[in-house]
Structure 1
Amino acid sequence: MRIHMAVSSILHVLLLLSLSFQCCSSSSPSLNSGFSLSVEKPEDVILSPNGVFSAGFYAVGENAYVFSVWFTRKPTVVWTANRDQPVNGKRSSLRLHKTGNLVLSDAGQFNVWSTDTTSSLPWLTQLNLTDKGNLVLYELHPQQSEILWQSFDFPTDTLLPGQQLTRYTKLVSDRSLTNHSSGFYQLSFNDDNILSLLYDGLDVSSKYWPVQWLVSWDAGRTTYNSSRIAVLDSIGTFNSTDNYGFTTSDYGVVMQRILKLDSDGNIRVYSRRKNDPWYVSWQAISNPCIVHGLCGANSTCVYDPIEGRKCSCLPGYRVKNHSDWSYGCEPTFKLSCDKNETAFFKLPGVELYGYDFIYKKNISYSDCENECLQDCECRAFQYSLNNDGLFQCYTKRVLLNGRRSPDFRGTTYLRLPEAKRNNVSFFADEEFAQDDGHVCSVKLDRSYAERHVSSFLKFFLWFSVAIGVFEVLFISITWFSLIRTKQKSDGNQQGYNFLSPFGFRRYTYSELKQATKGFTEEIGRGAGGIVYKGVLPDQRIAAIKKLHNDNIGAKRDEAEFLAEVSIIGKLNHMNLIEMWGYCAEGKYRLLVYEYLEKGSLAENLKSNTLDWTRRYNIALGTARVLAYLHEECLEWILHCDIKPQNILLDSNYQPKVADFGLSKLLNRSDQNTQNFSMVRGTRGYMAPEWVFNLPITSKVDVYSFGIVVLEMITGRSPTMMGGQSDEGEEAHNERLVTWVREKRKTTTSEEEGSPSSSCWVEQIIDAAIGSEFEVEKKKMETLASVALKCVEEDKDVRPSMSQVVEMLQSHEDA
């Protein structure tokens, strides 16, 4: 017995020593007691043994970080600790205290999250990430470890295979595609033991799945289960104790899967093989307009399988918050209780689901109308035919869950002032916005409580600061004196080796003048400036853009220019040209980029070096990077000059978009508005919004992208269609668009009933490489169809760039 106790003690000591000497950073397999992970060290990550999952700090906005678990390759977050209270990017940490409590602190001052655990063996606790993606806090015993806490018991919006949804847990959606705080939709077991979806909105809450009018057995569910457990397995089977279950479309194959409650209120299973893109292998709701609260109050939702979901305000109402449809619409009028000043506007096929104030069956229209007129708070009434052939009346005091559907056998009558009714139409003031509209990024603005500091300590701190300032001033004066007296032509003496705070180099004007041989070899020009080829002191070949003094250098001081350059420097995408450095000296402002030997897309289209596969890949890569600029950046960035000359090709003919930051440089003050002080872009590629002085949104880039794609397919430049003309900007691109549409219309009519659906594309393809078309005709038909959607005159009808990527990517996946 004594020998056994001695051995146990020795094991404890050895285990304690081994844990004490383990390092907790640089992709460690665990976090040990007494150690922490820092937000300022990207390498402070916990890896699962198989390397599939990582846990660490994840950026969700400007100076906003959460502690999360994600798939290591092509990161996809599956769990978050502090989704509703992101921490600061400085001095925040996750620490495993000696007491066994795991604590997340914000800027070293506030604790925003903890596991609230204690350990009987304080020094012998350890945080590990399993191969299944479960973050587990263990208390280490010689014989068997004990689980103190695990992330599988506290899901956010995602279930991993093998992770159970129980009576004590629920999934809560993100607020939006860009705001990852808790949203309005919940998946959980209700009081009847039925797995259901709930909308818990700003003002109301309601269940919408399973459909409300079905009792549990009609929906295939059973209430006779007290365990309340639902789980997805790794081969694509989902089972719930309420008798609900399904299999995914790719059932039977082991692959990476997640079940996620998306921000649009729908449950989806996403699958992928290794590092391939995710695809939807199952979803609960096929018509998204069934989901409650998506478009907010006083609005309607309409769904088209091709165009997707769109929201619009009811007549007489306007959008309340242009960044978020969930806030709905607000009235532009005030109702009177006087019947003589009230009229009803007919909305056929529009249903306002739920929240009926009065319901009557087998009633005439006039009686139903009177029911609403007698109630000063009545905002509308619904008159419809039920399955028994009887008319029924619903009066509404609140207008929620509006949707338009041809299947609805009824009409909604909207109450408006008599004077207002004659000035509105159902489609007159519609304002559409997609889920990926201009939703603001998460930006924190914190003020921390000041700690009490003694007078002596304050004096000591101020004295130290004063000494530090004096030393900095002395060193700065000495350094500038040396620079002014030496003035050597050597790049290293001119500050070439100075690394800017943004991660790239700051060059002097004389360095770049020498690199370009006095700015003699011009390789391109545009609205922002002229591009020259140059050889840097380290022998790298660069493209050096000299910005025009009249719109950049002369009007901006150096600090403002550097702040704007830092925005460009933070952008990182494989299809964006890489910035190597900049120059801000006197009146001169220059940007230094990598040089791409294959030149621009425009040059390659003229030389016919691009086959159909390359053209398709160029379109897809360009779409991806525009989606990144529009929707994934913390800053609101439009390109405003998409054209073949600004799409460069590397040695593998992969596209890299150039001039992507000049719209930010030229008009930073307007980044949160839809107003631009001057027209931007190139003739032939500009959207109609520029011509007609309409609000400028990301859809101007979508339009230009569509024109570029049509040019790649047809080999015809929009600026040359029909020769030179003074008819106006819109005439140039319209000639190309109209020509393509006419070819599709004419050929489709002639070939009606033919088994070939690609004939119309054959009529427009670039004749120079038309012989290769048969191999890639499906790709080119998809590309042409997507391009025509992008060049719709109405900006609200055009898809977003992320939708373009999805359409092109789905063809690739197929």
Structure 2
Amino acid sequence: MIDDMAISSILHVLLLSLCFRYSSSSSSTLSSGFSLSVEKPEDVLISPNGTFTAGFHVIGENAYVLAIWFTRLPQSSPNSNVVWIASRDQPVNGKRSSLSLLRAGNLILSDAGQKNVWSSNTNSSWPTRLALNDNGNLVLYELHSEETNILWQSFDFPTDTLLPGQQLKNDTQLVAARSDTNVSSGFYKLFFDDSNVLRLLYHRLDVSSVYWPAPWMLSFEAGRSTENSSRLAVLDSLGSFISTDNFKFTTSDYEISTQRRLKIDPDGSLRVYSLQKNNQWYVSWQAIADACHVHGICGVNSMCKYDPSHGRKCSCLPGYRIKNHSDWSYGCEPKFEFSCGQNFLKLPGVEFYGNDYVYKLNISFKNCKNLCLHDCECRLFQYTFGEDMGQFRCYIKRILINGHNSPSFRGTTYLRLPQTNEGSFLEEEESARDDGDVCFVKFEGASQNVSSFVKFLLWFSVAVGVLEVLCISLIWCSLIRPKKSSDSNPQVYNFLSPFRFRKFTYSELKQATKGFKEEIGRGAGGIVYKGVLSDQRVAAIKKLNGDNTGGGKQEEGEFMAEVSIIGRLNHMNLIEMWGYCAEGKQRLLVYEYMEKGSLAENLRSNTLDWTKRYNIALGTARVLAYLHEECLEWILHCDIKPHNILLDSNYEPKVADFGLSKLKNRNDQNTQSFSMIRGTRGYMAPEWVFNLPITSKVDVYSYGIVILEMITGRSPMMMGNQSDEGEEAQHVRLVTWVREKKKNNNKTTSEEVSSWVKQIIDPALISEFEVEKQKIETLANVALRCVKEDKDERPTMSQVVEMLQSQEDDYAAELIMAA
């Protein structure tokens, strides 16, 4: 009987143990003496609110890691929702591996029941428990009678992700994964350096370099402080990040309640991801706009090219081939044997940053080239002119890394290649976009088997071509040679490029404006002066304010790079930029001069009839559609208002000052994420005020306000009067006033529709209403759609063009029928 009772008691205890073990694996805690098995998918810990799960995560065939991930979210890649891994570089077997919490207080990850690959290295004489909290923190703590003591927590050992409330400290760092499918440690890390500054580092066994903040900038130039040695950084739940080195930012969706995470991605960029309502992640902030500024992103012996509309593209240097078609970080290898050859291939616009074996100042091109020729390990040399010091610079490089196409690079790169029999060869360049697909592009080269007759024809053609060029040059110079000035000093001319876009000197523009005397406009960005250029063209010259100029070398380079992009844009309703000036702290923009001034001036003087106003609305819509959808996708105006819509002699509209917010404060990373307010009060979309994501719809809203102002003749923040408000004058929003007029019109007949539209139009033009009624009604309805509070309810600018153009087509058809 006793034996039966004993056996019954033992079975009862075993049953309770199994039940307890099962319950612990499906709850948020694991008690000491129990474990999670890799072979049981149900052996997981789930946070009390269900947001996070901890357990074994599969990363490959029969390969698992102990991880924490967001529960039940769609995955763009197998590891896209993982936020923490215990031992990323040593996965465990899919059989007999386990996570055990020993009674001695140590948490151990075992591989196939044989060896321990990871441990919390803790011990305790008290009972312990492992818990997954709602914030994603996995915590091991002691169960005291009076207090709870934390022995270990995952927040103290981040991998590549910081969750809101999780601190990055002086002894921790974020290390990117090797790739989207390989969770092992990659080449990029976020950490506090010895000077207490938060930095991004590219690190491999053979090379290491900091690439953010910009390595050529001093800490204070990048807005960082080295004084605070506490070294802490944290992202809060509202989307605000703050670091003890004075680096701060807010996400584009700041203060919106959602899940967020700060992650250093395999491509080396630091981003904040926010969860949308459809459970998809989107980037709400990123540290680096140009992916090619990340060091080592394409590996050695390669070039990187970045286009905002197409992303990053890697390509091998001529004479080199890709090492690994699925991973560009391996770079390229030569297809030839290195020798002390004397062939150099010119690579204009290509820069290799860092890793200079020799750096020389004030040196001739010939001597720079000889330095490379006399060093058999020299693979490349760069020759540049530094305007800041007024000296030529020579860079000799043995390691070819961080190569990229840079519009702002003021120099030329010369790649050393082997000597071939005929002095020329046929090379292939291997290139790929971000998706890793490889294509082959042929470089033009001469055949090695060329007959003497063909060579004779070739040289004869070259000789004839040279003579033609000389003749054309002589005729051209005789036609455009400038006349001598009244003084004895010869004038130095910088002739226009084929696109009529050039760099001016400050003295040229000062002379053109007669010392900046005739002011024709001003705004928050700067003052506009009228000037006459040396070729007698009348120009509008805008002198940017000091806050918008920047003075460093990098600011100047980026200013000129972006201005050159603007200079290449071409649209009949976009004001033509003729050039710029960037000297010291001076930043000036040179535009074509608009005879009729701005739309704001013409609205005040009542010089525009309804036909002109409609054409201005249509032309403005067309150029905004071009900027938003037909051009580079990131070009937003951000300040559409009558002052920035200029009119030529035929009253054709030309939009000015577009995109200049991107030329300001380039060191401020918030500028890139549009977390700072842009625009003018009264014309700004609600997204700016409520820190919502900024899209092209902000321009649509501003455009709608401009149309309402053209129809009513009233400013966006107009003054009410007794007839409108029934009380003393007060500020009233134009949008609200127009909506009220339409709301009070309850009937639906066309006459009544005309009635409410007639009540809002500019009184000075009421006599034209009956003739232009259809156009005015169309404008009014389009404007009200554009100023919807919800950006998703607003049309795109191409849709606006279609609506206005259809009205124009109907009007033209009526005229034809009447004729």
Q: TM-score, normalised by structure 2?
A: 0.50
Structure-2 separation of matches of 1:183 and 1:55? 23
Residue 356 to residue 149, structure 1, CA distance change in 2 (3 Å): same
Partner of 1:303: 306
Partner of 1:118: 123
The CA RMSD measured in Å over matched residues stands at 2.8
Give, as a single letter, the amino acid of the residue that structure 2 aligns with 1:127: L
Q: Any idea what the Cα deviations from partners look like across 1:248-299, whole Å, max 9, x if unmatched?
A: 1111212100000000000000001465201000000001111111111111
1:107 to 95, 102, 112: 112
- Name the SS of the counterpart of 2:59 in structure 1: strand
Structure-1 separation of matches of 2:347 and 2:156? 47
- Name the SS of the counterpart of 2:152 in structure 1: strand
Structure-1 separation of matches of 2:29 and 2:277? 24
- The structure with more radius of gyration: 2
Using the TM superposition, give the Cα deviation of residue 358 of structure 1 relative to its aligned residue in structure 2, in angstroms.
1.3
Partner of 1:394: 395
Structure-1 separation of matches of 2:122 and 2:425? 61
Structure-2 separation of matches of 1:753 and 1:27? 58
Structure-1 separation of matches of 2:375 and 2:69? 54
Residues 379, 397 of structure 1: 8 Å contact kept = yes
Residue 240 to residue 143, structure 1, CA distance change in 2 (3 Å): same
Give, as a single letter, the amino acid of the residue that structure 2 aligns with 1:242: D
- Name the SS of the counterpart of 2:369 in structure 1: helix
Using the TM superposition, give the Cα deviation of residue 395 of structure 1 relative to its aligned residue in structure 2, in angstroms.
0.7
Residues 302, 316 of structure 2: 8 Å contact kept = yes
**1:53 has 2:52 as partner:** yes
Residues 196, 207 of structure 1: 8 Å contact kept = yes
Partner of 1:344: 344
Give, as a single letter, the amino acid of the residue that structure 2 aligns with 1:149: W
Using the TM superposition, give the Cα deviation of residue 180 of structure 1 relative to its aligned residue in structure 2, in angstroms.
0.8
Partner of 1:735: none
Give, as a single letter, the amino acid of the residue that structure 2 aligns with 1:106: D
1:178 to 176, 181, 194: 181
Using the TM superposition, give the Cα deviation of residue 82 of structure 1 relative to its aligned residue in structure 2, in angstroms.
1.5
Structure-1 separation of matches of 2:246 and 2:624? 46
Partner of 1:97: 102
Residues 28, 133 of structure 2: 8 Å contact kept = no
Residue 226 to residue 754, structure 1, CA distance change in 2 (3 Å): closer
Residue 343 to residue 21, structure 1, CA distance change in 2 (3 Å): closer
Using the TM superposition, give the Cα deviation of residue 20 of structure 1 relative to its aligned residue in structure 2, in angstroms.
9.4
For residues 555-570 of structure 1, the aligned pairs below 5 Å read none
Structure-1 separation of matches of 2:791 and 2:132? 31
Using the TM superposition, give the Cα deviation of residue 757 of structure 1 relative to its aligned residue in structure 2, in angstroms.
5.4
Residues 197, 226 of structure 2: 8 Å contact kept = yes
Structure-2 separation of matches of 1:86 and 1:158? 19
Residue 141 to residue 107, structure 1, CA distance change in 2 (3 Å): same
Partner of 1:28: 27
Give, as a single letter, the amino acid of the residue that structure 2 aligns with 1:292: H
Partner of 2:373: 373
Partner of 2:415: 414
Structure-2 separation of matches of 1:753 and 1:424? 51
2:261 to 258, 261, 272: 258
Residues 68, 82 of structure 2: 8 Å contact kept = yes
Q: Any idea what the Cα deviations from partners look like across 1:166-198, whole Å, max 9, x if unmatched?
A: 001000000011111000001000010100011
**1:236 has 2:239 as partner:** yes
Give, as a single letter, the amino acid of the residue that structure 2 aligns with 1:186: K
Partner of 1:157: 160
Partner of 1:314: 317
Q: Any idea what the Cα deviations from partners look like across 1:219-243, whole Å, max 9, x if unmatched?
A: 1011101100000001111000011
Give, as a single letter, the amino acid of the residue that structure 1 aligns with 2:275: R
Residues 320, 429 of structure 2: 8 Å contact kept = no
Using the TM superposition, give the Cα deviation of residue 434 of structure 1 relative to its aligned residue in structure 2, in angstroms.
3.8
Q: Any idea what the Cα deviations from partners look like across 1:556-606, whole Å, max 9, x if unmatched?
A: xxxxxxxxxxxxxxxxxxxxxxxxxxxxxxxxxxxxxxxxxxxxxxxxxxx
Structure-2 separation of matches of 1:95 and 1:813? 52
**1:140 has 2:143 as partner:** yes
Residue 272 to residue 417, structure 1, CA distance change in 2 (3 Å): same
Residues 350, 404 of structure 2: 8 Å contact kept = yes
2:207 to 192, 196, 204: 204
- Name the SS of the counterpart of 1:289 in structure 2: helix
Structure-1 separation of matches of 2:97 and 2:21? 22
Residues 24, 31 of structure 2: 8 Å contact kept = no
Partner of 1:217: 220
Partner of 1:461: none
- Name the SS of the counterpart of 1:301 in structure 2: strand
- Name the SS of the counterpart of 2:90 in structure 1: coil
Structure-2 separation of matches of 1:272 and 1:106? 35
Partner of 1:497: none
Aligned residues: 432
Structure-2 separation of matches of 1:420 and 1:35? 74
- Name the SS of the counterpart of 2:92 in structure 1: coil
**1:277 has 2:280 as partner:** yes
Partner of 1:645: none
Residue 120 to residue 352, structure 1, CA distance change in 2 (3 Å): same
Segments of structure 2 that go 5 or more residues without pairing to the other structure are 1-15, 76-80, 439-618, 630-694, 698-789, 793-819
Residue 810 to residue 756, structure 1, CA distance change in 2 (3 Å): closer
Give, as a single letter, the amino acid of the residue that structure 1 aligns with 2:107: L
Using the TM superposition, give the Cα deviation of residue 108 of structure 1 relative to its aligned residue in structure 2, in angstroms.
1.1
**1:37 has 2:42 as partner:** no
Q: Any idea what the Cα deviations from partners look like across 1:758-812, whole Å, max 9, x if unmatched?
A: 9xx9xxxxxxxxxxxxxxxxxxxxxxxxxxxxxxxxxxxxxxxxxxxxxxx9999
Q: Any idea what the Cα deviations from partners look like across 1:447-485, whole Å, max 9, x if unmatched?
A: xxxxxxxxxxxxxxxxxxxxxxxxxxxxxxxxxxxxxxx
Segments of structure 1 that go 5 or more residues without pairing to the other structure are 1-16, 440-750, 762-808
Give, as a single letter, the amino acid of the residue that structure 2 aligns with 1:391: F
Partner of 2:787: none
**1:287 has 2:286 as partner:** no
Structure-2 separation of matches of 1:45 and 1:66? 13
- Name the SS of the counterpart of 1:253 in structure 2: coil
Partner of 1:86: 91
Residue 130 to residue 810, structure 1, CA distance change in 2 (3 Å): farther
Residues 316, 424 of structure 1: 8 Å contact kept = no
Residue 193 to residue 352, structure 1, CA distance change in 2 (3 Å): same
Residues 352, 401 of structure 1: 8 Å contact kept = yes
Partner of 2:775: none
Q: Which has the higher mean CA deviation after the structures are superposed, 205-214 or 430-439?
A: 430-439
2:171 to 160, 168, 171: 168
